Structure 1
């Protein structure tokens, strides 16, 4: 089956997830691709703002993303860390915490883990 020609926009997402200091717009494309735009406000930290929604100690979503603005620091379970900023592409495996550095909002486009990021766990 041939995939159709498609066009999508974060201005008309298929799903929106949001909480204190964060928002994610998710668009779904034919063939199963899901792409999210994640916006994080200064003061955001995964372990404080998303952990209650996700129900895990660390973020277990894998990420491959392009960062548009702001700076974010990521710490893996093993203690290794890095900081990324605008124009950078990152690949972050499951098992991490992350937080906004400074006073500029972080905006990133994620094409790997967006479908599960900040998704409420069913009981």
Structure 2
């Protein structure tokens, strides 16, 4: 993660089998992800399902703008890696 002024950008790595509703919901205590994500997928794939039931598939090179109110999970055979402006709301630097 890096913060410049009020802007934070980070790199997230989500391993195979990761799912927001299984891995984060119990910690967050919310029904869906409350974070607005903007960024770019570097590798891997993720499915995002919004509370209205619509789904979005994100893959390498895709630019994303995902509003709060979603579940998400990795798909495919490699970890999902993205650069995300919403990372400050949930990430812990390693």
TM-score (norm 1): 0.70
State which structure, 1 or 2, has the greater radius of gyration over its C-alpha atoms.
1
Higher relative contact order (CA 8 A, sep 6+): 2
For residue 103 of structure 1, the aligned residue among 74, 77, 84 is 77
Q: How many residues align?
A: 92
Q: 1:27 to 1:53 in 2, by over 3 A?
A: farther
For residue 76 of structure 1, the aligned residue among 50, 56, 72 is 50
Q: Distance in 1 between matches of 2:69 and 2:89?
A: 14
Q: Which runs of 5+ in 1 are unaligned?
A: 1-25
Q: Which runs of 5+ in 2 are unaligned?
A: none
Shift of 1:52: 2.0
Over the aligned positions, Cα root-mean-square deviation in angstroms equals 1.3
TM-score (norm 2): 0.91
